[in-house]
Each structure stands twice: as C-alpha cells, then as structure tokens.
Structure 1
Amino acid sequence: MTSLYARHKAVIPDWVALYYRDPLEITHGEGRHVWDAEGRRYLDFFGGILTTMTAHALPEVTKAVSEQAGRIIHSSTLYLNRPMVELAERVAGLSGIPDARVFFTTSGTEANDAALLLATAYTGSNQILAMRNSYHGRSFSTVGITGNRTWSTTSLSPLQALYVYGGVRTRGPYAGLTDERFTEACVADLEDMLGQTRSGVAALIAEPIQGVGGFTSPPDGLYAAFRRVLDRHGILWISDEVQTGWGRTGDHFWGWQAHGQAGPPDILTFAKGIGNGMSIGGVVARAEIMNCLDANSISTFGGSPITMAAGLANLAYLLEHDLQGNARRVGGLLIERVRAAAVGVAAVREVRGRGLMIGIELTEPGTDRANPDAAGAVLEAARENGLLIGKGGGHNTSTLRIAPPLSLTVSEAEEGAAILEQALRSL
C-alpha cells in the first residue's frame, strides 16, 4: 500500500511544508493531547499553529457544531444569520473600538486582505507601512506587505510597502538601547520615512507580537508612540491580532492593549483561536471605515452558521473559565521553567514571550547567526519524547514556538518543560 506521505507528495504542492523527517498524521485529540496514526500520544504545545485555543474536542464546541449541523450548515451572507449577528455583537463589544462593525472571513489571510482593502479605499492611497520581520498571510496583497523574506514569495504587489523598524527588540541597530531610547529611535525612523513619501500613506499594519517572525515584540507603548505620529498624518492603525487575540498573551485580551495609551486601533483583524479549529477570521473597524466601500460585497463562506456556532461556544467557554488568567498564571510558570531549562545551552540566544506565547531563539554558539539545524533537531527530539512544538523566526526559522491551548494545566506545563529541557540539552 502506498504511504500517505507518498500520496501527499504526488498531489500536494512542494511548497506546502510538513514538519518532521517522518511526517506526522494526527488522527484525534482531547484536551491538550493528540494521537497519531500509530497510536502514540503527544502533549500539544502548538495547537495547529495557535488555532486550537481552548482544548481539543472541547465538548461545548463539538456540541454546538453538531446541533447547528443538524439545523443548517450554510446560507451565505445574503440571508439573515442569527449566529453571525450574535458573535459579531460579542466581538464588537470586546474589541474596544467604538461604533464597531464586524465582517467575518474564513482565515487570517483573508481578514488582513479585507483590512487592507478598507484602509486603501478609505484613504485613497495604496501605500502601506509594515513592520520588518512581519507576516500577514499568503494572498497576493498580504504577501506584498510581509516583511519576512522566508514567507514573502514575490516582490510583485498591488500595494507599495514601506517597512518600519521596531518589531524586533534585540536585533538591529537599536538593540543596545534602553526601552525608552529604543522607542524614541523607532519613532524618529518613522518620522524620517514619512518625510520621504510622495503622498499620503493609508495605514500601518502591525502584529503586537510577531507570530511567524518568532514571537518577537517591541517595548510596551511603541505603537502608542507610533499612533501619535500616524494621527498627525491621517494614517490608520491596523492591529493584526490573528495570533495575539483572545487573551493568549495573558496580560491583555488583545495584543494592542500593551500599547493602549493611544486607545484602540482603527482596524483590528482576528482569526485562528476564536474557532478552536473551525475556519473563522474577521475584521473589526469603526462604522465610517467599514462602510466606506461603494460597491456590493458578500462572503460565501465567511460567517457560516456552523463556524459561528463554534465561535460563540468557544468564546463563551474562554470567558467563563478565565482562560486569559490561566494563560497569565500557567504561562508565567512555563516561561520560567523554559528559561531555567535553557541555562547553559550554548545555542540558546534568547527565551522571550508572554502568556502562552513563548519563543526560544537558537543561534550558532557565541554568535547571532541563525541556527535552523539546531531548531530542527530540537523539534525532532521533542516529538520523540511526546511533545509537539512549532518553529519560525525571521532568520531562517531558527526560533522554536511554544503556544499550547489556553486551558493548559500546571502539571502539563511542567511535563512539557521537562521534555523541552531534555531536547535542548540533546544539542
């Protein structure tokens, strides 16, 4: 019988990456664990790229999906849709954006694509400020403003992207400065760049914590300082919360709130965790921005009744069980354990993150040169001992990414940290 891997290679594009030398087929999951086709159990510290946010096979979500599937699965946005309106009401209220409108999509890529459409239509400009080392999706428009060459597949774009410094605190020309001086230098760089543009800029799009870029982030308050400059120039602020939203950072429900002195963003995008595996993305914006389009638009699959039912149940569970608080408490413990595990491992350059969003950057010992081979070796060793983690980073995917479901227990955090320590020391 032909292996599933061979069948995959025969029909799936070469650029669809697979983890591990012996790729893994996950057949089912429960809580914070998944099982492969051979029956091996793994502690899941990546959650399908930060998407299984609460737990695998969460009864409240599976029940909501099953009940909705028994009524109607699909209708499109051409008809009134009670689950969509109810979830939009909850998201609008949680967003912090006044007079908010919500448009649902099927992915984070599509959400960011819609946000860029809104910003450019509202301002009449195709110039976009983006952060170096950023990632915003795989569509033609989002690839064009992604500041990470590992994930930017073409230089062609309908947008003119201008890349701003500040998303990576510990690399680059300002790395040695204090947080205050770092912010001042980044603001000065932004001011200088805007002085060189020929016409108005539509928006700055920024991840509060860069996800695919390796869980890097600026000092708290940087985007508030940027916002004061943006407002003077009539430039919108888009906060890409695809990976940072819904309390994952522990300290805040949204990543932008670490920069909240400037108030909420003009546009907020979300996806991944809200559906707990169901395909939900979306955009939140002030009514005047959201309603600026002067042509008809719909979504065939965005806001489908079945995904909205999942999102409502998942969000209710998250809020009722204070999973943001759990991310803060258990995430704080986990990052302490990971930092302790990394002590004395020469390849570890930095352990960073907040809440249940932790990165371990690996370099060639004694240098700042990326070490993707070491990252791959740790990924394999962790899997061999029953732990699934991710990787990323702007420097040849040399950062290990740790992002378990937000219901992670203390004992599971301890277990995962012990496996990570063993994997790191195997280097």
Structure 2
Amino acid sequence: MTNDLLGRHRAVLPDWLALYYEEPLEITHGEGRHVWDAQGNRYLDFFGGILTTMTAHALPEVTKAVSEQAGRIVHSSTLYLNRPMVELAERIAALSGIPDARVFFTTSGTEANDTALLLATAYRRSNTVLAMRNSYHGRSFSAVGITGNSGWSPTSLSPLQTLYVHGGVRTRGPFASLGDDDFIAACVDDLLDLLGHTRAPAALIAEPVQGVGGFTAPPDGLYAAFREVLHERGILWIADEVQTGWGRTGEHFWGWQAHGHNGPPDIMTFAKGIGNGMSIGGVVARSEIMNCLDSNSISTFGGTQITMAAGLANLNYLLEHDLQGNARRVGGLLIERLRAAAAHVPAVREVRGRGLMIGIEITRPGTDEADPQTAAAVLEAAREGGLLIGKGGGHNTSSLRVAPPLSLNVAEAEEGAAILENALRSIP
C-alpha cells in the first residue's frame, strides 16, 4: 500500500517536494509523543512534523476545541467579527513583549514572514533587507529571496535587495575562533561596515536559533547589540520565531529574549507550534508599523474560527502545564545525554542547542567537511530503531535535528537518546 501511495505521490506532486527515508513513511495516527505508520509500526516522535506538534499528538484539549468549534462554524473570513481570533490575538499581544501590539494571523510561517517584509518595506519606504547567513524564512518568492541557505533558495530573483550579515553560526566562519564578547564585537563591526555601503535598509530579519540551518545560534546578546546599531538608524528588527517561539528553548518563552536587554523586536513572526498541527501563522508589530499600510486588505483563511480555537486550547495547555519549564528540564537532560553519546563518535562535530531544540552536526571525521550520506544513514538507523528525527544544515554541513513535543518526559528522553546513540554508533 505504501509503495502504491508513493507511486501516486510521484505522479501528481512536484519532484522538489522532499520525502524523508529510502522507503518513505505514511504516518496514520499519533498519541502523546508517539506516532504509527500504515504498517502499524510505532515510533517515538522527536521532530513533531517540523516542530509543529508542540504539545502532544491528539491532545484531548485541542481535539475537543476543534470538534466543538467545527460543530458551530469553521470559517467566515476576516470580513466579519471573529471572537476566537480576537481572544487569541489578545493573548499573543500580551505575551509578545511588544508595546501597543497588533496581531495579524496567516496560515503559515512563510506567509507570516512575507507579511513582515511587506510591513517593514512599506513603513521604511525601502526594499533593502538585512538577513543572516545560513538563515531560512520560507518558500514564498520574497522569503526565498532573503534565505541565506542556498539549498533552500531556488532562485536569485527577488523583489528585495538582500544583504547578508555575519553571526548566525557560532562555530564556523571568520569569527569562530574568537571568544563570545569578541565574536559579538566583530559581527557588530561587520554590520556597521555593511551599513556604510548601502542605502538605509528596511529591516534585519533573524531567527534567534536558525532552524533549517541546523539549530545554530550566536552567543546570547548578539541581536541586542545589533538592535542598538539598527535603532540609531531607524532600521527595524524582525524576529522570526516560527521555530523558536512558545518556550521551546526552555530558558525563554521567545528566542529573542536571550538578546532582549535593548527591548523587544519591532516585528515578530510566529507559526508552527501554536496550532499543534493546525495551520496558524502570524505577525506581531507595534501599532504604527502594523497600521502603516494605506490600502485595504483581508485574509480568507488566516485566523479561521477552527484554527483559532485550536490555538487557544493549545496555548492554555502549554501555559497551565509549564511546558517551557519542562523543555528546560528535560531538554537539559537530553542534550547532556546526547553529548555523552556523541563524544565517542568521530563523525559528530558538535552537539548544540537549548531546551528541546537540539542539533547534531555530522562531518567527515577529523574535518569540517559535510557528510550528508552519513547524516542520512543515521536518520535511517534511528527510524529502524523506532525514532523519528529531522535533518538540516547550512555552510555545506549536515545536521540532525531533535525537537520533540514539549511534553516529553524523562523516560521518553532516555529512550530516544538510547536509540539515537545506537544509530550514531552504527556509522561505519
């Protein structure tokens, strides 16, 4: 049946639509931190549909909210008042840390980043955008135009002039050998030099932890230092929280808060985990930025009643059960367990991350050279052991990505770490 479905998939869907595994997997149902495939095999899920199943599979509170809302009304568009949309916007505005915040809902992180770019360029009357090397911001025409990872940017054509800044990767590049303070100072000097050679940009867009790039991050405080430079020039800071938001990093509710002593971002985007599988994305911005557009607009599917009901139930569960604290505690145990396991595997260059957002970089032993074949082999071996993980990476690297639902318990963390250790040790 799976081979038949794979043939049908290939017959009608694009060739560039990636599938994991030599024998692609059809996931039929899930519960908690586990999923099952069409053959009845059970897996511990350490990727959550690309960090989207944030709390748990089939979380009763969310499924109940979706079912009850579906029995009333599913959708009406933004042309009508929408109580669940207003209620979720109020919660997110209060949590964002942005003063006088306004919230606009979209259907994905790509669309959220696209909207943030629209707002920033319209507000600043500039189509120049600063972005980070090794970044990923989505697959729309504007989003691929600011993505600093060639593997995910299929065209150089763009409505924007994009300039790329150092700093998103701590252990690679020309400043990697510096201490944290000197690294930040060098990146700020690079930013200042760049600004001296270009027209005033609209904004800098940055992921606090680079997701598709392999869960890489700068030292804490880099974006605060950048913000000081940007603020003096009126340049906006867009924090792309599509993967880092909602407490996944454990230490902070938003990734930007590790860099926040100069204030919150001007614009923040979010998506993925808030819907726990439902299609929710969005933008938070100060009112004068959000309201700068001088034409009418609507969203047909952004903020539908059914997705907003799911988001509210999911956010309530996250906060009431302190899943941020759980990500900090269980994630801390998991990363130390993985570092101990990787210490005996020459192909592992680095285990990095925070909370339940962990990257394992695979290279040819004794070098910094990427080894995508070995990374793929570990992915396969983990699946054979009953564990689903992700992969990514920039700078020609191959990284495994570990990002379980935030309700992961200690026993499941130990189980997953043991499977992944065996997969790593299977490297020839």
**TM-score interval w.r.t. the shorter chain?**
over 0.9
Q: Aligned partners of 2:158, 2:398: CA distance in 1, in Å?
A: 28
2:163 is the counterpart of 1:162: yes
2:216 is the counterpart of 1:216: yes
SS of 1:370 mapped into structure 2: coil
- What do residues 151-187 of structure 1 show as CA deviations (whole Å, max 9, x unaligned)? 0010000000000000000001100000000000000
Q: Aligned partners of 1:11, 1:386: CA distance in 2, in Å?
A: 30
State the Cα RMSD in Å.
Answer: 0.7
Q: Aligned partners of 2:50, 2:344: CA distance in 1, in Å?
A: 29
For 2:383, give the aligned amino acid. R
For 1:21, give the aligned amino acid. E
Q: Aligned partners of 1:120, 1:90: CA distance in 2, in Å?
A: 27
Matched-pair contact (CA < 8 Å) for 2:362–2:397: no
Residue 230 (structure 1) aligns with? 230
Which runs of no fewer than 5 residues in structure 1 stay unpaired? none
TM-score normalized by the length of structure 2: 0.99
Residue 84 (structure 2) aligns with? 83
Which runs of no fewer than 5 residues in structure 2 stay unpaired? none
SS of 2:29 mapped into structure 1: strand
SS of 2:360 mapped into structure 1: strand
Q: Aligned partners of 1:270, 1:396: CA distance in 2, in Å?
A: 27
SS of 2:168 mapped into structure 1: coil
2:356 is the counterpart of 1:356: yes
2:282 is the counterpart of 1:282: yes
Q: Aligned partners of 1:237, 1:224: CA distance in 2, in Å?
A: 10
Aligned length: 426
For 1:262, give the aligned amino acid. N
- How big is the shift at 1:119? 0.1
SS of 1:381 mapped into structure 2: helix
2:365 is the counterpart of 1:388: no
For 2:394, give the aligned amino acid. G
- How big is the shift at 1:426? 0.2
For 1:19, give the aligned amino acid. Y
SS of 1:3 mapped into structure 2: helix
Matched-pair contact (CA < 8 Å) for 1:391–1:397: no
SS of 2:231 mapped into structure 1: helix
Q: Aligned partners of 2:17, 2:388: CA distance in 1, in Å?
A: 19
2:288 is the counterpart of 1:296: no
SS of 2:349 mapped into structure 1: strand
SS of 1:284 mapped into structure 2: strand
More moved, 395-404 vs 362-371: 395-404
Q: Aligned partners of 1:113, 1:321: CA distance in 2, in Å?
A: 33
- How big is the shift at 1:344? 1.6
- What do residues 69-98 of structure 1 show as CA deviations (whole Å, max 9, x unaligned)? 000001000000000000000000000000
Q: Aligned partners of 2:219, 2:90: CA distance in 1, in Å?
A: 32
Q: Aligned partners of 1:13, 1:255: CA distance in 2, in Å?
A: 34
- How big is the shift at 1:233? 1.2
Aligned-pair identity (%): 83
- How big is the shift at 1:107? 0.0
Residue 315 (structure 1) aligns with? 315
- How big is the shift at 1:232? 1.2
- What do residues 297-350 of structure 1 show as CA deviations (whole Å, max 9, x unaligned)? 100000000000000000000000000000000000000100011012010000
Q: Aligned partners of 2:80, 2:417: CA distance in 1, in Å?
A: 49
Residue 16 (structure 2) aligns with? 15
Q: Aligned partners of 1:207, 1:43: CA distance in 2, in Å?
A: 27
Q: Aligned partners of 2:73, 2:395: CA distance in 1, in Å?
A: 46
Residue 256 (structure 1) aligns with? 256
- How big is the shift at 1:397? 5.7
- How big is the shift at 1:395? 3.7
Residue 182 (structure 1) aligns with? 183
Q: Aligned partners of 2:232, 2:397: CA distance in 1, in Å?
A: 37
For 1:120, give the aligned amino acid. T
For 1:259, give the aligned amino acid. H
TM-score normalized by the length of structure 1: 0.99
Q: Aligned partners of 1:122, 1:296: CA distance in 2, in Å?
A: 16
